Structure 1
Amino acid sequence: MKKNFILILTFVFLAFTACNNDDNAPQSDVAVAFAEASYNLTSDATPVQIKFSKPAPVAGTITLDVTETAVAYTTDYTTTPAAASKKVVVSFPKDATSVEFTFNKIKNATATEVKNVVFTISGTSFGGQISSNKTIQLNFNEAASLGTALSPEVGGPLEPNQVYVDLSSGKMTSAVRNSWDLGFYSGADFRVVLNNSVKMAAKQLKSTNIDEVQVVDETMIIAQGTGFPEQVDDSAGDITKTAIAAVSSTDSDNKVYLLYLGNKPAAAAPVLGKEGAAGGDTRGWKKIRVLRSGSDYKVQYADIASTTHEEIVISKNSAYNFTFLSLIDKKVVNVEPQKNQWDINFTTFVNVIPNGATMVPYFYPDYVTNNLNGNAKAYQVLTSAFTYEAFTLANVDNTKFTADQRNIGSNWRSTSAPGPDGNPMTQFVLRTDRFFVIKDPAGNVYKLKFTGGAKADLERGHPTFQYAILK
């Protein structure tokens, strides 16, 4: 299926260097650049965007030089606009803040081929500066992996890591789950998500003054069955149901929020069979107010007793689901891979579950989510209906790919087993009566079964699984 994924790149200039074809041309204070060194092509058509540091002063063009490795134009790829003599010339109107061209992939690489095209910004018609980030390499993905066995390194029973898995390549990307606090959505909406993996909570206040002193509200603290569902993000992953309201273009509508930053993992390993993912010290409290700044977010933040605040501007980058911010370290941090380059995430998780007549937040270790915002979906199959070995593409039921990131969740394991006295005891138990079907952002479909989650001595936090592509 042909899909378009727009590669919109965050504009980060570390150094600007003038590099115009005509040394005597008047220089503009507008700089142009790519922000990333490379991109793996997962779609037939990929619009690639070049950003401007400020609106273009006049209409004009950007010239790109083309360098090929093991590919030929019209055989392996084309571009829109078309290339001529190993150059692509892209036009833009006055006041443009970006310009794009489309890369059309015709042939994938095979398992043994290395195929790529490098585009280099070589000139602008208006004397614009070309930054040090002047090239991008587009890599031809080989055919999707047929499947393998993987062991995500979540870090044992304390589970300090979130691990993102791309089934088509078998690549795993790890992020320290305490390394971030807020995620800023790159889609059309202006939404902010909490770090669910550390039990964060957000409470809207009546004030719009970030410099007002606030106090701790211990009712926000999430334990097993305490806290308020409205103070955590929708556990199914609906981006329109975040604890922090949509950021309004009217500043006066954007309230201050009190944030409970959740808990660190425990300082020492727990008793064998138990988890220590959230048994550590509190990560503290903050207050924030989020505004819009054009197409960006402007974040005001401070300690709750402070009468002054700091600000940071967060730019959207639609190559990713979110841009992540650490309030503790006061900087943007890398967490997720690009949105079409991961499928499932091994993490800890705050779910919202029934407790009698009410719904309450509840913390889960050993949890697996699917990349709902990147359009990766999953569903469960019981072996009473199909065996893993016999399940084929013809058996896939597309109606079961629902918009819920919890369709794997904790369903792959249990944490209770009969003890020596016959009473239940805490112990990791792998559920072998089920497997899962996963559709990735490129439309590939896989079957996946878990093969373990604990060591022989019952130490938790050691998941293993195998998967195979369905064709």
Structure 2
Amino acid sequence: MNIKFNYLLICSLISMLLLACDDEDEKLQPFSANFSNTEIGFSSEESEKTVDIVFSRTTTVAGVVNITINAGSLTYGEDNDFYTSPAAENGSLQLSFESGVSHVSFTIHKGTSLNIAENVSISFELQESGDLFQIGANKQITAEFSENFVASSGTATLDAGGAEFPVVAFFDISKNKQTRVGKYSWDLGFYTGAENYVTVNNTANIMARPLDKTDLNNVTAEDTVGFANVMTVGFTGTSEGAFWIDDHTGDLSATAFGEIATSSDQAKVFIVKRDGEGRSWKKVRVFASSSGYTIEYADISSDSFETVEVSKDEAFNFNYFDLDNGEVNVAPTKDSWDFMYSSYAVRYSMGGSATPYGFNDYIIINRNNTEVAMVMTENLSFEDLDLSDAEELEYNSNINVIGSDWRSTFGGAAVFDDRFFVIKDSQDNYFKVDFTKMTSESGERGYTSLKFKLLD
């Protein structure tokens, strides 16, 4: 009896000892730590981001996670480019955690002096912590800050490629940055807003004339007899032709294509006339689709046609289409430019009905929340105008608000010296802009100089 009791007692003690060892092993067993993501991004509007380090299991002891910071070209500090909560010291961040938690976090903040002209990245890396935990696969996270640089002042020369104006120059004042594209690189623009509109490329004298037909295969060269005599831009233009280009004020309800059909059987065929070497005329149909637009197009004499779906990318005002090469990149994103400089066809009245007429040295503003006011120097000088003055001005958002009103070609090409402009951009920055020269040093048109200053 005693032998059996002792045996049972010994077994119980052994079991308790083994369980105690298992508990101790559990407490000492390392766990892994990972960043929950490997990349995060700050837009120009965002001021802070929270970063999580997740554990593979709930902690059974308290400890510290050490993180090193690679700041790259940025400077740490609340009054500098970026800082963290909790605060880092000497490029190292320490995060304490308690027992019974599954993650630990810190926050990255933009500093008050962050002002960058291009995207910049910094990184954070987990460091080994002895036997307490192991580093998992996501040991590093990269934080990218989007450019937020705003130029306080500057000068620029808009480059349209010379007297023939083969180039369209898009200008972003806040970055003092110019983007140049060939003016014959696109034919049609598909509006990305809630409504459905199609524009023609007025910089390249594109015209679109409707036919009373809805089937491309039923359109032949016979349907365009005599069109070459009237589908012209310039002194030979006709009053009827004024409706075959887009309205130069930017009114999308007054484009050459007009109201876009909501179904295929309603969409009329348009004859699209294109200037430029080797650019044939086309027959085109456009109608709305579930994702944006459907376009059918072909050479006028072709007995077959291509069909393409064009989706709406809301980062741009328009998605652009070349009838030879399909969708193409033209204008920068709608938040990344303020006005464009090139040639432009307008509905122009010379004492009678409006006709299509092409202007060189023409300026169109961005339709994305951009506004302009013209200031006469007899009322206020460029040097004296300040932000309070600018806020009291009357602004216009028609895309042709600058147009040709900044220069004269009578008696030689020259800018007007009795006026300047104030531009309010889509980020609510106010810039005063003065066009200072209309030609290159050699006197060639297509190279316009300006100066600007941020009002703050």
Q: TM-score, normalised by structure 2?
A: 0.69
Do 1:286 and 1:304's aligned partners in 2 also have CA atoms closer than 8 Å? yes
- Given candidates 280, 291, 294, the residue that maps to 1:295 is 291
- Give matches, 1:276-425, under 5 Å: 283-328=279-324, 330-372=325-367, 374-396=368-390, 400-417=394-411
2:174, 2:449 → 1: CA distance? 17
Task: Structure 2: state its 5+ residue gaps.
Answer: 1-38, 49-68, 75-81, 87-102, 124-140
Matched residue type, 2:243: E
1:249, 1:74 → 2: CA distance? 54
Post-superposition CA distance 1:426-447 (Å, at most 9, x none): x212211111110111010000
Do 1:259 and 1:286's aligned partners in 2 also have CA atoms closer than 8 Å? yes
| Offset, 1:214 | 3.2
Task: Structure 1: state its 5+ residue gaps.
Answer: 1-36, 47-66, 76-83, 88-103, 119-134, 265-280, 418-426
| Offset, 1:311 | 1.3
1:164 matched to 2:160? The reply is: no
| Offset, 1:140 | 3.1
Post-superposition CA distance 1:103-124 (Å, at most 9, x none): x989672359965589xxxxxx
Post-superposition CA distance 1:261-297 (Å, at most 9, x none): 1x23xxxxxxxxxxxxxxxx58431110112331221
Which residue in the other structure is 2:444 paired with? 459
2:45, 2:350 → 1: CA distance? 44
- Given candidates 425, 435, 453, the residue that maps to 1:468 is 453
* Count of matched residue positions in the alignment of Structure 1 and Structure 2: 350
- Given candidates 179, 182, 188, the residue that maps to 1:182 is 188
Matched residue type, 2:389: N
Closer, same or farther in 2 for the Cα pair 1:68/1:346, shift >3 Å?
A: farther
Closer, same or farther in 2 for the Cα pair 1:224/1:73, shift >3 Å?
A: farther
1:167, 1:338 → 2: CA distance? 14
1:109 matched to 2:114? The reply is: yes
Closer, same or farther in 2 for the Cα pair 1:183/1:85, shift >3 Å?
A: farther
2:179, 2:247 → 1: CA distance? 24
Which residue in the other structure is 1:4 paired with? none
**4+ residue segments displaced more than 4 Å:** 37-40, 67-75, 84-87, 104-108, 111-118, 135-138
Q: What secondary structure, in the 3-state scheme, does the structure 2 residue paired with 1:162 have?
A: strand
Closer, same or farther in 2 for the Cα pair 1:448/1:399, shift >3 Å?
A: closer
Q: Which has the larger radius of gyration?
A: 2
Which residue in the other structure is 1:260 paired with? 273
Do 1:40 and 1:141's aligned partners in 2 also have CA atoms closer than 8 Å? no
| Offset, 1:412 | 1.4
Which residue in the other structure is 1:198 paired with? 204
Post-superposition CA distance 1:168-189 (Å, at most 9, x none): 1111111111111111111111
* RMSD of aligned alpha carbons: 3.3
Matched residue type, 1:396: A
Q: What secondary structure, in the 3-state scheme, does the structure 2 residue paired with 1:175 have?
A: strand
1:168, 1:209 → 2: CA distance? 47
Q: What secondary structure, in the 3-state scheme, does the structure 2 residue paired with 1:168 have?
A: helix
| Offset, 1:394 | 1.3
Closer, same or farther in 2 for the Cα pair 1:164/1:85, shift >3 Å?
A: farther
Q: What secondary structure, in the 3-state scheme, does the structure 1 residue paired with 2:153 have?
A: coil
Q: Is the helix fraction higher in 1 or 2? A: 2
- Give matches, 1:421-440, under 5 Å: 427-440=412-425
Indicate the structure whose relative CO is greater, using CA pairs within 8 Å and at least 6 residues apart: 1
Q: What secondary structure, in the 3-state scheme, does the structure 1 residue paired with 2:178 have?
A: strand
- Given candidates 198, 212, 219, the residue that maps to 1:213 is 219
Closer, same or farther in 2 for the Cα pair 1:376/1:40, shift >3 Å?
A: farther
The percentage of counterpart residues that share the same residue type is 28
Q: What secondary structure, in the 3-state scheme, does the structure 1 residue paired with 2:253 have?
A: coil
1:180, 1:461 → 2: CA distance? 20
1:138, 1:323 → 2: CA distance? 27
Which residue in the other structure is 2:35 paired with? none
Which residue in the other structure is 1:226 paired with? 237
Q: TM-score, normalised by structure 1?
A: 0.67
Post-superposition CA distance 1:27-72 (Å, at most 9, x none): xxxxxxxxxx9999444599xxxxxxxxxxxxxxxxxxxx996656
| Offset, 1:144 | 1.6
| Offset, 1:342 | 0.4
| Offset, 1:314 | 1.2
| Offset, 1:461 | 1.3
